Amino acid sequence: MQFNNNIPIYLQVIEKIKQDIITGKLKPGDKMLSSREYSNELGINFNTVARVYKEMEMEEILFTKRGLGTFITESSERIGSLRYEMARKQIDSFIIGMKQIGYSKEDMIKLIEMENNIMEGNE
């Protein structure tokens, strides 16, 4: 995993795990690597991974079974809301950026439709 020096590593790891959950790479109920194993895999400090797991437990995305490890939530509702939260963050960022360069709502919609058609090979 490549890290951006402008964003705290723990936040980048959280985003990566969330993305892996909503794309199905990590499945509900899957066991996570131990903090030590995951820190070795990512090449980051053990305490950083421990913080990631703690933060994600507070968000009810992960849960710990004492003596067994840390697991992905089994709640399809929580995963659905996580997917929505991540999509909304992307949309908010897009809208703010487009407004900063002078695009109106109508211009954004036209541009999205045009780009979508190009990506689908309809133009």
pLDDT at residue 97 is higher than 80: yes
For 119, how many CA atoms within 13 A lie in the half-sphere containing its CB? 6
Q: How high is the pLDDT of residue 34? A: 94
d(CA 14, CA 26): 13
Q: How high is the pLDDT of residue 4? A: 87
Q: Burial-class residue 62 by CB neighbours within 10 Å (0-12, 13-18, 19+).
A: buried
Instruction: Calculate the average pLDDT of the chain.
Output: 94
pLDDT digits (tens, 9 = 90+) for 22-62: 999 999 999 999 999 999 999 999 999 999 999 999 999 99
pLDDT at residue 82 is higher than 90: yes
d(CA 14, CA 61): 10
Place of tokens 């090449």: 43
d(CA 48, CA 11): 10
- Per-residue DSSP letter, 31: B
Q: How high is the pLDDT of residue 121? A: 82
Rounded to an integer, the average pLDDT of 94-112 is 95
Structure-block tokens of residue 115: 């780009």
Enumerate the H helices of the chain as residue ranges.
Answer: 9-22, 35-42, 46-58, 76-100, 105-119
Q: How high is the pLDDT of residue 123? A: 57
pTM summary value: 0.83
Rounded to an integer, the average pLDDT of 59-88 is 96
